[in-house]
Structure 1
């Protein structure tokens, strides 16, 4: 019994330290060991694995394991890795897992990602997944993504990982002549800096080429179903005011049907293409009820796929090379997340000074990229027209998004609060702060008797830093 109590207190103390670090500095503390694992299929070249292991060492990972297995065996290998970490008896600082397989074989990566989220030693700790696809018969030398990643990790260890990846995406696009488009998915709650230097210490200022030029017209489209969504009007008012404050020419449509969602997006695209003056940025907010598979429901109850709306704007000629921001306030399923963490008695919760649980989908960073170029072997993880897209979901995949009838949704209201406080900061950093605040909340929905947690998902193929106010 004493052993169980001691173990629980140890994990709880680690989570309290991590939470206080995130509150105080907005970054992960990384006090514990860093562990790395490479899972690769037999077809993966030795040179690719060697570059990966060099990246791990540069980033300060003390333990670097490598296991070769078929893609079907990846889940079992990850389960064994999880058990190994839990058996160490102490909290970790960070875990990095590289999954390398021929293109198209990693069909359900979320199942692999979720496996490590169950690891008790990693509760509240960042978990980074590098999902690399390689082309059958590709050259033995690693492609642009791994080459640039290796170089920048060595040169700029003081940069936060999201900042580093944005620069990698930019340089990869130049090296590969836009034939591939890396994508990241983040639910991080703070800055993740794997070097030994604070990311806000004096550093090289980014060159103008690494920032989006927002000197042209900015356009925003807000599509919101307010009927039978109490509190939605508060989101419309708050987001509309923010867009105007950030100099977006804003179009608002309320209670669109499923067909109207598509028609409004097509009209928005046509208007942008018809403009003579340059367009530098577009923001689209989609606010509605959500279907069980992440569909949006129009005011008529019919479904529309958000991916189709994103694709519509990606074809806009006026926005080629420009950032396209999508905010999705909608449920993505019916799951309610109770969070992960040690069971807490009332006195225990007071001692931690906060809820001891963390959303089970939080603290994960996934990077999808090509390991060996993509010249002639089929589509890369993201096609060129998916570049420069930033999507922010109010809920993790499969989960409920919450909205207060009197105040509006947690996501939109927190987003507006954070951006108004510091509109000149880099947008990915601001969104990470939004997620931290949302993850701290405990939600008691109208049809739920227990308090639950929420977590954002940020997807980015941005290739430059994005600051909405100079």
Structure 2
């Protein structure tokens, strides 16, 4: 009997470990199979798909499927792929889906992303989406992107995918009409994702000086917070203000701005930076307010302002050209309250194994939008480089705040940055998301536990470390 119980516990532990693919050191273990799927419209050149398949092989995907279909048929094809993974009979290691179509055709990629998020076999596993577009009959830009990515994967296999993409973005950036354009990534990953064939005996190359932003100049921060009818907001304001000052930011605070004042304050902030004597090396803008059903910010007057408009306002700052611009957005982006995805196991496993909590439904997703100058395929402000935007909630979801301690996002962010201010900011934000995803949140208008998840949008082209 003891042997039977011991064996049962061992099997149960293996199931629990497989269900939670995130290692204890904040890195996905990728022990299961890696599956890749390419969905391409008929107009896409076969050579582009061939380059894709080469990259998949470099990244260690043993199963690479291809479907040619119209963009309208992509959802049905992806549903079939999801069912295939669920019928596999065991947990996956990682899934990669490449969506290749003519520029402007992929207008609602989030519907495709969320379809794969429903896959039980991929619960807790990274899901990577490559959104590539091309021009009819022409050589598509994605081929150059894929070539750069494949080369870097061979040389720097120990780098995380976010590190690799940042380097690729630097190489792919283009100057156009006085602005710099590059691809954009959109992440809700909870840990480091290393897809390469890591050789522990291979020496780790040191990053060059150009691989990191120079923050020796002035740093400026603008904090805009609606306090009215937002209990606990004062804790966020104090924590964030103290952090900015500790990191050497010249900080400006404005409370209870109206929707118009949001725009005016960011515009005034931009003008001050443009007239500043001496170099400006970095800007941080925190936007804290109630959110509308489509992700709008609500001013103290209840009127709406689009956060993307505020991002673009600061992007026009000449003093910040080629410099990192950080936006922290603590606001709801809709009314959905995510119950998360629980373990697929018997109830007694929970009691015996102390299984990890449910995972937010839209965690562990990485989207890479290569056609940065293209249409609205990315679903958010595309194209401009050196921008990092962090949302306290994924698209359509509630951002939580506690009246006694403030919001989980701001408080966790401050704690992580104070612990390791010299770390790479993208990696630190991934750690913030990991900690947030482990929380069970009880909202003021809900008696059931809910989950929260960050969404990070980045077009950074270098490592960003806020303290030398």
Q: Distance in 1 between matches of 2:146 and 2:78?
A: 23
Stretch deviating more after TM superposition (266-275 or 199-208): 199-208
Secondary structure at 2:100's aligned position in 1? Answer: strand
In the alignment, what sits opposite 2:38?
38
TM-score (ref. length: structure 1): 0.92
2:389 to 379, 383, 391: 391
1:297 touches 1:303 (CA, 8 Å); kept in 2? yes
Aligned to 2:257: 256
The answer to whether the 8 Å contact 2:336/2:397 transfers is yes
Change (3 A) 1:342 1:156: same
The match for 1:444 among 439, 442, 445 is 442
1:423 aligned partner: 421
Aligned-residue offset at 1:141: 8.1
Alignment match, 2:327:
326
- Map residues 429-468 of structure 1 onto 2, 5 A cutoff: 429-468=427-466
The one-character-per-residue Cα deviations of 1:255-305 (angstroms, maximum 9, x if unpaired) are 111111011000000000001210000000000000011000111111111
Cα 1:268–1:200 change in 2 (3 A) is: farther
Contact 1:18-1:28 at 8 Å conserved across structures = no
Q: Report the TM-score, using the length of structure 2 for normalisation.
A: 0.92
Partner of 1:423, secondary structure, is coil
Q: What is the RMSD of the two structures over their aligned residues, measured on CA atoms?
A: 2.5
| Deviation per residue, 1:285-331 (Å, 9 max, x gap) | 00000001100011111111101100000000000000000000000
* Partner in structure 2 of residue 237 of structure 1: 238
- The alpha carbon displacement at 1:57 in A equals 0.2
Shift of 1:153: 1.6
Q: Residue 313 of structure 2 corresponds to which residue in structure 1? A: 312
Give the deviation of 1:351 after TM superposition.
3.2
Secondary structure of 1:386's match?
Answer: coil
Specify the SS of the correspondent of 1:365.
strand
Cα distance in 2 between the residues matched to 1:200 and 1:110 = 40
Change (3 A) 1:127 1:379: closer
Q: Tell me, in whole angstroms, the C-alpha distance in 1 between the residues paired with 2:347 and 2:201.
A: 37
Change (3 A) 1:150 1:188: same
Change (3 A) 1:328 1:87: same
Deviation string 1:190-246 (CA, Å, 9 cap, x unpaired) is 000012328998511110111111010000000001111111000000000100010
d(CA) in 2 for partners of 1:117, 1:10: 26
Q: 1:397 to 1:352 in 2, by over 3 A?
A: farther
Q: Does 1:29 align with 2:29?
A: yes
Using the TM superposition, give the Cα deviation of residue 16 of structure 1 relative to its aligned residue in structure 2, in angstroms.
Answer: 3.6
**Rounded Cα–Cα distance in structure 2 between residues aligned with 1:357 and 1:254:** 36
Report Cα offsets for 1:143-186 as digits up to 9, x if no partner.
43122112112221111000000000001116999774200000
- Give, in whole Å, the separation in 1 of the partners of 2:190 and 2:217: 32
What 5-or-longer segments of structure 1 have no aligned partner?
A: 1-8
Instruction: Give 3-state SS (helix, strand or coil) of 1:25's partner.
Output: coil
Give me the whole-angstrom Cα distance separating, in 2, the residues matched to 1:13 and 1:330. 38
Paired residue secondary structure (1:236)? helix
Give the length in aligned residue pairs.
458
